[in-house]
Amino acid sequence: MQDSLPYEDYRSSHEGKGPDYHAKFFQYPHRSVAWEIEQRLLLNILAARFPAPEQVRLLDFACGTGRILGLLEKRVGTSTGVDVADSMLQVAREALSHSELLLRDITQPSDFDSRRFDLITAFRFFPNAEPELREAALEKLAALLAPGGILVFNNHLRCSGTTMRVRRLLQRFGHRFRGRALHCMSDTEAEHLLERHGLSTVETHHLGVAPVLKEKRAFLPYSLLARLEHWATDAKGLDKLCNSKIYLVRPSRA
């Protein structure tokens, strides 16, 4: 199902990026609505899964410009963000006040290996990363989970989502897509990845039913797009068509 990978080495893909990347989640309609929904879901997960959130040790892996840390840092006990792009972390440093931010590749052995976290988040990473990096990252994240801890990650490039369905249809009629426009990660790939690292799915959520053909503008006015997407997130029967899937997982032995 997966098209050619968008990067030869995803580790270097965000070097030099920062404010412009961060702004996309507030200026691009589809990303903005998705972020609204993701915030709601993350807050619900924190409240439902952790009776004492003020004691939670949070790790945001591939934290980028710190959107998730900004949402959660004042609601948990400790918050740590790691990323390999210093330009991205610079944006996070300017915006955050309670989080530890580390320029680090956690797939490499270090003293970080001895730490443990109750909640780990990893957004917009796994479908973009090459298979070897996916494996290395998930192996380390699984090891960093404290007993009873949970990992929350998303696949925002689902092969079965409306975006990829429409793009593949257009390709059949001769439209040529460039770069990573057809790159995706299937549900089966995600599930097998979890199985290989001893992780089981506790719950899933879906979002993003409208196809994204151009990120800078949607085919609906923003208010209507937001209404549609918030409704679709809670609607039954649309999970296979949504462009993004959020997984809440924990070790199978737990």
**Tens digits of residue pLDDT in 220-252:** 999 999 999 999 998 988 999 999 999 999 999
Question: Does the pLDDT value for residue 68 go beyond 80?
Answer: yes
* pTM, entire model: 0.94
- The tens digit of pLDDT for each residue in 2-21 reads 444 555 688 888 888 899 99
Question: Does the pLDDT value for residue 83 go beyond 60?
Answer: yes
Pairing status of strand 99-103 against strand 117-122: unpaired
- The tens digit of pLDDT for each residue in 171-187 reads 989 888 877 888 999 99
44 and 73 Cβ atoms separated by less than 8 Å: no
The pLDDT assigned to 178 comes to: 78
Percent of the chain residues topping a pLDDT of 90: 85
Question: Does the pLDDT value for residue 1 go beyond 50?
Answer: no
CA distance linking residue 238 with residue 232, whole number of Å:
7
- The tens digit of pLDDT for each residue in 17-38 reads 899 999 999 999 999 999 999 9
Longest dimension (CA), the chain: 55
189 or 15, greater pLDDT: 189
pLDDT average, residue stretch 130-156: 97
Q: What is the 3-state secondary structure (H, E, C) of the chain?
A: CCCCCCCCCHHHCCCCCCHHHHHHHHHCHHHHHHHHHHHHHHHHHHHHHCCCHHHCEEEEECCCCCHHHHHHCCCCCEEEEEECCHHHHHHHHHHCCCEEEEECCCCCCCHHHHCCEEEEEECCCCCCCCHHHHHHHHHHHHHHEEEEEEEEEEECCECCCHHHHHHHHHHHCCCCCCCCCCCCECHHHHHHHHHHCCEEEEEEEEECCCCCCCCCCCCCCHHHHHHHHHHHHHCCCCCCCCCEEEEEEEECCC
Residue-level length of the chain: 254
CA distance linking residue 70 with residue 98, whole number of Å:
9
Question: Does the pLDDT value for residue 151 go beyond 90?
Answer: yes
Residue 102 burial (CB count, 10 A): 16
pLDDT average, residue stretch 70-92: 97
Q: Which of 9, 158, 151 is nearest to 85 (CA)?
A: 9
228: exposed, middle or buried (C-beta count within 10 Å: 0-12, 13-18, 19+)? middle
101 bridge partner residues: 81
CA distance linking residue 34 with residue 102, whole number of Å:
26
**To which residue do tokens 């959020």 refer?**
246
Percent of the chain residues topping a pLDDT of 70: 96
Phi, psi of 150 (to 5 degrees): -130, 150
Report the topology of domain 10-251. Answer: Rossmann fold (3.40.50)
12 or 95, greater pLDDT: 95
CA distance linking residue 44 with residue 22, whole number of Å:
24
Pairing status of strand 199-207 against strand 244-251: antiparallel
pLDDT average, residue stretch 202-229: 95
